[in-house]
C-alpha cells in the first residue's frame, strides 16, 4: 500500500490489481512466517492478523465452518430489523451484481450470513469457501475478512486479495459497511459486497456506503410510521387524561405530547422505575398499548443529577428526595463530564471527538455513543449541539 492509499480503501484508482495481489501474497507469507515483510501491511490488516494468529487459526486451509439449521436461520431473519430493508438493499446492489460479478451479503451483528444474492458464477465459488447463508463469518471462525473485521473494528473495511488471512480467500475482494439502528445507534449487522479480486473497482466502496445510508433512512421511516401508529392507537386514552403527559415507545421516542415543550426522546421506560423528564420531573411510566404513558408525579421543577465518575461510574438523578440510579460506562461518564463543563452552549460531535480522542475524526463513534447514552440518560441530554438539557442541574462529584 502506498502512503496515499486512504485508510478505508484497499487500493488506489489506477492500481495494477494483478501486480498488487502478488505483492500482498509476499507480505502475507512473510508476516505469517515470522520474517520481515517487503512492505508493512495496512495497520487495520496487521491488527486483524495479530488477533487471528493469537486464536491459532491456520492460513493454509479452510478453517472449519458449521452452518446453523434452516429453522434458526429463518428465526434470525424474521427477528432482525434488517428484514425491513432487505428489499432496498437488493434494489441498490443486486441490480448490478450479475453484470459486475459480485455478491451482496447481509449479516447480523453476530456475523451470521442472513442473505446472500448476486452473480451465480460468484456464488459457486463462494460455496466452496463456506460463504453461505447460515454461516458465521467472524474473524474467530474464518480469519481476517471484511465482515468479521468490520465487526471487530466497528468500522467499514475493504480487503483485497492476500489481505485476507486464509489463503483460499486471496482470490477475493470484500467491502463491508456496518449498518446501525437509527433509533439508538445499535449495530444491526454488516452489508458486504464481495467478488473476484481482479474485478475490484474503486467505486464499490461508495456503492456499499450509499446502500447502507439508504437502508438506515428507510429504517428511520419505519420508526416514524410506528410512532404515528402508536399515537393513533392511544388517542382515546390520552384524550381523557388531564395534565401534561407524553406517550413514548419502548425506546423512549415520543409519539405524542401534551402540555410540555417539544422533545424527541426521554430515558428508556421500564416498569416500576421512575424516569426523570426535564419539565415534568420524576414520572413513573405506565404501560399503554404498545407504548408507555409518562406523566409527572408533580409538574415542573428542576432535575438534579449527580455523576459519580470513579472506576465504576454511576448516575444518580434526584427530585424531591426520590432518586433513581443507573450504572454508566467510563466513556459515557466522560461524555457527561465534558457536556457538563461545556455549559449551555454545548459541544458538537467534532468537539466531543477532539476532547475524548484527541482529534475530530471520530464523529460517527461519538454519535453512536451519544445514542447509547440517551438510552440510559434519556432527556437529560439535548442535541444540536449536544448539551445538558435545560432544567437539569448536573454535578460531577470528586
Per residue in 340-377, pLDDT tens?
999 989 999 999 999 999 998 899 999 988 888 876 66
Give the class (CATH, top level) of 303-396.
Answer: mainly alpha
Give the sign of the dihedral formed by CA 229, CA 231, CA 232, CA 236: positive
Gap between the terminal Cα atoms of the chain: 48
What number of other Cβ atoms are within 10 A of residue 22's Cβ? Answer: 12
Helix, strand and coil percent figures for the chain, each rounded to 5: 40, 25, 35
User: Which residues share a beta bridge with 192?
Assistant: 105, 176
Going by C-alpha positions, the residue among 153, 141, 216 that lies closest to residue 183 is 216
Respond yes or no on whether the N-terminal peptide bond of residue 385 is cis (omega within 30° of 0): yes
* Confidence at residue 5, expressed as pLDDT on a 0 to 100 scale: 39
Find the helix packing angle between 349-357 and 363-377, rounded to 10°: 100
Contact indicator for 276, 303 with CB cutoff of 8 Å = yes
CA 369 to chain centre: 10
The 10 Å Cβ neighbour count of residue 40 is 12
Largest CA distance in the chain: 76
Distance, CA of 356 to CA of 331 (rounded, Å)? 8
SS3 241: coil
Cα 191 from Cα 216, distance rounded (Å): 12
What is the C-alpha separation between 179 and 261, in angstroms, rounded?
32
Helix (H, G, I), strand (E, B) or coil at 38: coil
Closest listed residue to residue 362, CA positions, set 351, 376, 372, 371 = 351
Rounded to whole angstroms, the Cα distance separating 157 from 149 reads: 7
Task: Answer whether 17-222 and 303-396 agree in fold.
Answer: no
**Structural contact between residues 159 and 10, judged by C-beta atoms closer than 8 angstroms:** yes
Low-confidence spans in the chain with pLDDT less than 50: 1-6
Q: How far apart are CA 275 and CA 104, in angstroms?
A: 43
pLDDT at 191: 98
Residues 6+ apart with CB under 8 A from 231: 247, 255, 256
- C-alpha to C-alpha distance for 330 and 334, rounded to whole angstroms: 6
In the three-class reduction of DSSP (H, G, I as helix; E, B as strand; rest coil), residue 98 is classed as: helix
| Residue extents of the structural domains in the chain | 17-222, 242-294, 303-396
**Domain spanning 17-222: CATH 3.30.450.40:** yes
* The length of the chain, given as a count of residues: 398
Q: Are 161 and 197 in contact (CB under 8 A)?
A: yes
**Predicted pLDDT at 157:** 97
Q: Residue 160: how many CB atoms within 10 A of its CB? A: 26
Cα torsion through 359, 361, 364, 369, rounded to 10? -20
194-222 in b/e form (b: 16+ CB < 10 A) is: bbbbeebeeebbebbeebbeebbebbeee
The whole-number pLDDT of residue 2 equals 36
The pLDDT value recorded for residue 196 is 95
179-192 tens-digit pLDDT: 999 988 899 999 99
What is 120-141 written as a DSSP string?
HHHHHHHHHHT--TT-B-SHHH
Q: What are the CA-CA distances from residue 125 to residues 147, 171, 385 (Å)? A: 18, 10, 49
pTM score: 0.73
Amino acid at each position: 500500500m502506498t502512503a496515499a492509499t486512504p485508510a478505508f480503501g484497499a487500493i488506489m484508482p489506477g492500481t495494477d490489481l494483478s501486480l498488487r495481489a502478488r505483492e500482498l501474497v509476499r507480505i502475507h507469507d512473510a508476516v505469517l512466517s515470522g520474517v520481515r515483510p517487503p512492505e508493512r501491511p495496512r495497520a487495520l490488516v496487521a491488527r486483524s492478523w495479530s488477533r487471528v494468529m493469537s486464536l491459532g487459526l491456520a492460513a493454509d486451509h479452510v478453517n472449519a465452518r458449521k452452518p446453523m439449521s434452516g429453522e434458526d436461520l429463518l428465526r434470525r431473519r424474521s427477528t432482525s430489523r434488517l428484514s425491513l430493508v432487505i428489499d432496498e438493499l437488493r434494489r441498490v446492489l443486486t441490480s448490478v451484481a450479475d453484470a459486475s460479478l459480485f455478491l451482496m451479503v447481509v449479516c447480523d451483528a453476530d456475523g451470521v450470513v442472513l442473505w446472500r444474492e448476486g452473480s451465480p458464477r460468484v456464488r459457486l465459488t463462494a460455496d466452496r469457501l463456506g460463504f453461505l447463508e447460515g454461516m458465521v463469518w467472524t474473524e474467530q471462525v474464518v480469519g481476517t475478512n471484511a465482515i468479521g473485521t468490520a465487526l471487530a473494528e466497528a468500522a467499514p473495511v475493504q480487503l483485497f486479495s492476500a489481505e485476507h488471512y486464509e489463503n483460499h480467500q486471496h482470490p477475493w475482494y470484500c467491502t463491508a459497511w456496518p449498518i446501525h439502528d437509527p433509533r439508538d445507534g445499535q449495530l444491526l449487522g454488516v452489508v458486504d459486497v464481495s467478488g473476484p479480486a481482479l474485478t475490484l473497482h474503486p467505486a464499490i466502496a461508495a456503492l456499499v456506503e450509499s446502500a447502507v445510508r439508504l437502508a438506515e433512512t428507510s429504517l428511520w421511516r419505519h420508526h416514524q410510521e410506528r410512532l404515528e401508529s402508536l399515537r393513533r392507537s392511544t388517542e382515546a386514552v390520552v384524550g381523557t387524561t388531564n395534565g401534561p403527559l407524553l406517550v413514548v415507545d419502548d425506546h423512549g421516542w415520543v409519539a405524542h405530547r401534551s402540555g410540555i415543550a417539544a422533545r424527541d426522546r426521554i430515558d428508556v421506560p421500564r416498569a416500576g422505575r421512575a424516569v426523570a423528564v426535564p419539565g415534568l420531573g420524576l414520572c413513573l411510566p405506565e404501560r399503554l398499548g404498545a407504548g408507555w404513558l409518562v406523566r409527572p408525579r408533580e409538574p415542573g421543577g428542576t432535575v438534579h443529577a449527580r455523576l459519580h465518575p470513579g472506576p465504576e461510574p454511576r448516575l444518580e438523578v434526584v427530585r424531591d428526595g426520590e432518586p433513581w440510579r443507573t450504572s454508566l460506562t467510563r466513556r459515557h461518564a466522560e461524555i457527561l463530564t465534558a457536556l457538563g463543563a461545556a455549559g449551555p452552549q454545548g459541544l458538537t460531535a467534532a468537539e466531543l471527538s477532539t476532547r475524548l480522542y484527541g482529534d475530530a475524526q471520530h464523529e460517527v463513534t461519538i454519535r453512536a455513543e451519544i445514542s447509547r447514552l440517551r438510552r440510559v440518560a434519556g432527556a437529560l441530554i439535548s442535541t444540536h449541539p449536544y448539551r445538558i438539557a435545560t432544567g437539569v442541574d448536573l454535578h460531577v462529584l470528586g
